[in-house]
Structure 1
Amino acid sequence: MQDTMKIFDKVKPRNLPRNPWQWHIQDPASQLLTWNKPPKSVLVIKKVRDASLLQPFKELCVFLTEQKNMIVYVEKKVLEDPAIVNDENFGPVKKKFCTFREDFDDISNQIDFIICLGGDGTLLYASSLFQDSVPPVMAFHLGSLGFLTPFSFDNFQTQVTQVIEGNAALVLRSRLKVKVHKEKKNLVQNGVEENGLIVNQQEKDHVKQTKYQVLNEVVIDRGPSSYLSNVDVFLDGHLITTVQGDGVIVSTPTGSTAYAAAAGASMIHPNVPAIMITPICPHSLSFRPIVVPAGVELKIMLSPDARNTAWVSFDGRKRQEVCHGDSISITTSCYPVPSICFRDPVNDWFDSLAECLHWNVRKKQNHFTGDEEEEY
């Protein structure tokens, strides 16, 4: 995949400034996608158990295999849908597919680009399949929410052809690199040890420190407990605050329009290099969401005097309990998600704000037509 794709800045480098401290701010619309060689393989991700997506899925796969001669990868559980299994006309196309299973098969170096059919959750799922470099993602809006899916399926043949031919605009959506460290005593409590012996050393190492790549947010909350959560937040080794409330959200700019926005945070364009920290119902009127620079390392732990444990989830998945002594380290990942734009990063983002969140939609005042300004 790395040999096939390259991302470059269409703005030519200028002569070095005389002042070495002068910065050059990159144009958000300057990221373009081109191919070193024509792409040959595509991963098609379809929202599972959604009957409305069967026909678009079939049409897309027929187009890719028969007209574009692409190698199509499809998740095995998608093809187990009875509507696909019993479709005899689709059988010849299905035989050409390469299949894989999540958490079992590594396809990271076999995919040139990805096509998502569904809503925002489908793109989040696509991101979770790649823990290192992510191929460019083309997302069609066929779900309930389409903030991250700018393409309409009505004219998919032309749009897919343009992507295959290259020169598409991109937005590089940063991800969070997360490490969850479990204390050994908590592993014993959770049943990883039996009779004082670790069942499997590899399993022990896997559970002690688990890694995730997160596109939207990491959520630490109080779970089923009736007590407020009480967690300490460290930034580059320094304690910056203790969160007492329902929890805290650590999000990317992409995630700033998701759960963080519902919790009162500002919305940040995905081109802005930042990490957002947003409290969930804090027990303090002065605790406002803050934005910190991308690249800092956050560490979150239960406070020593916390009355209860906490729970953590990653883009809404892999939910697990956090006990005393456990820690969660979060920083900016070096593996962003290259999302293919319908037009460009700026217009696509504001279109999504208007269509999905109805940003600043209001009834306008009537303009003056005569002597109204003299009347009250």
Structure 2
Amino acid sequence: MLPQYKQTATSSLLSLQWPEPPRNVLIIPKLHAPQVTESAIDFAKHIHGEYPNLNLIFERRVASNIHESLPFPIYTSDPIHFPAKIDLVATLGGDGTILRAASLFSLHASVPPILSFSMGSLGFLGEWKFEEYKRAWREVYMSGSRVAVADLSASQAHIPADAALAEGDGLRLNEAWDGVRGKSLGASRSSKILLRHRLKVGVYDASGVNVNEQLMPTSTTAESHQPLPPVPPELKHVPKLEGPIAPAFHAINELVIHRGPNPHLAIIDVYVNNHFLTEAVADGILVSTPTGSTAYSLSAGGSIMHPLVKTLLITPICARSLSFRPLGLPLNTKVVLKLSKKNRGRELEVSIDGKRRTGVTVGMEIRVEGEMVGQAEGGSWTGGVPCVIRSPATGDGGREGIAEDDDGWVGGLNGLLKFNYPFGEGQ
């Protein structure tokens, strides 16, 4: 079920519009956390009890652990089938759980909406508290339905069709939601979507052949991920220094090339739009998205970027030069990283979002550019990771424009990251 995302004149966020109710929901809890697993079971029971027509899908290792705790069927599959089946993703955990969810769609241009509950150690990307899961689920499931339903204790009441038309976009009631119980959301209430940009990454050998299939899962994902499918033969032989080719690997946070256990500093040649920029002598180089600017890049001294800013960041890791500063570039910039012939260590490690890794040697190159997002035919959107943004608990917020966009991000910046936090305060 491909959702549509509607732009509004008063907000930079998008409005989630389901053409029909979502059917297949992937639930991803944090691993090795019994309390989170119990919450996932409660969440699944609620969805099955109130929305019985939904199919609940889990990763194999999770399904094997919880299926005996649920009195109804759940489903599982190899992750390769998720992109063609999953309508909506719900994560219970921290930022790493969201990255794990996004990595399941890393070879695809479209990612289902992600409803995230903050239950991890940081949770800067997580929007909702788990105690709000009933309201959060109801909002995202009913988003754009044009159906207003009464409270559970009352009989169902639907707004008339002419009232829906009066809302201004010409949509009539969708009868597919007629049997849904729940609290009234109003005729035009919809979930807000923040579309997070990703990086497109291609790894190439010395002859210019894409070797993305050599990207292997890290130990944290090895149980459920397989090596990437090979690049089609007709796409393998392309001139060097062109943009990444399909299937590009997508990253929501960053790509990092680093010296690893090698005792010598890495020497990396950096090219921007086919022009040589600099020879970096450092522990490594990061190329990150605005979302990733508050992750590894921030720890390495990079700038904090709002996720709506269309940019990518180059951040050195412990550079030998004091004048090597983090650099912001337009999102469509093509960045190429090459292991210099001067490098004393003959191989460096490349890691993508901490989920995939490979080694690169002299002559190989990593090509990175920002993923552009946009509206396709039929109103669907391609590119990016659509994240469901937490709405105010009462009403429709009473605010418009940039304040609405920034509320959660600014709160997280101050509350979680302690932005410009004075020494000694609050001790």
| Aligned-partner residue type, residue 342 of structure 1 | R
Q: Which residue of 1 aligns with 2:86?
A: 111
Per-residue deviation, 1:29: 3.6
Q: Which residue of 2 aligns with 1:301?
A: 338
CA distance in 2 between partners of 1:128 and 1:147 (Å): 18
Q: Which has the larger radius of gyration?
A: 1
1:340 aligns with 2:388: yes
Matches within 5 A, 1:21-170: 29-69=12-52, 70-81=54-65, 84=66, 87=69, 90=70, 92-93=71-72, 95=73, 97-102=74-79, 105-130=80-105, 131-132=107-108, 133-166=110-143, 167-170=190-193
| Structure 2 portions without partners, runs of 5+ | 144-189, 215-228, 237-244, 373-382, 392-403
Q: Which residue of 1 aligns with 2:308?
A: 271
Cα deviation 1:107-144 (Å, max 9, x = unaligned): 21222211001110010011111122001111001111
Question: Structure 2 vs 1, CA of residues 29 and 184 (structure 1 numbering), >3 Å: closer, same or farther?
Answer: closer
Per-residue deviation, 1:184: 6.7
Question: Structure 2 vs 1, CA of residues 34 and 327 (structure 1 numbering), >3 Å: closer, same or farther?
Answer: same
3-state SS in 2 of match to 1:49: coil
CA distance in 2 between partners of 1:204 and 1:289 (Å): 33
Worse-matched range after superposition: 255-264 or 71-80? 71-80
CA distance in 2 between partners of 1:122 and 1:313 (Å): 17
Q: Which residue of 1 aligns with 2:203?
A: 180
TM-score, normalised relative to structure 2: 0.72
Question: What's the % identity of the aligned pairs?
Answer: 33
TM-score, normalised relative to structure 1: 0.81
Confirm or deny: 8 A CA contact 2:92 2:117 kept in the other structure: yes
Question: Structure 2 vs 1, CA of residues 143 and 30 (structure 1 numbering), >3 Å: closer, same or farther?
Answer: closer
Q: Which residue of 1 aligns with 2:376?
A: none
- The count of aligned residue pairs is 325
CA distance in 2 between partners of 1:6 and 1:243 (Å): 43
Matches within 5 A, 1:208-227: 211-227=248-264
| Aligned-partner residue type, residue 355 of structure 1 | G
Per-residue deviation, 1:63: 1.3
Q: Which residue of 1 aligns with 2:6?
A: 8
Correspondence for 1:312 among 342, 345, 350 = 350
| Structure 1 portions without partners, runs of 5+ | 12-26, 192-201, 366-376
CA distance in 2 between partners of 1:364 and 1:273 (Å): 36
3-state SS in 2 of match to 1:56: helix
Per-residue deviation, 1:101: 2.3
C-alpha RMSD of the superposition: 2.4
Worse-matched range after superposition: 261-270 or 108-117? 108-117
3-state SS in 2 of match to 1:60: helix
Confirm or deny: 8 A CA contact 2:24 2:57 kept in the other structure: yes
Per-residue deviation, 1:211: 3.5
Correspondence for 1:353 among 413, 416, 420 = 413
Per-residue deviation, 1:185: 12
| Aligned-partner residue type, residue 287 of structure 1 | F
CA distance in 1 between partners of 2:29 and 2:8 (Å): 33
Per-residue deviation, 1:231: 0.5
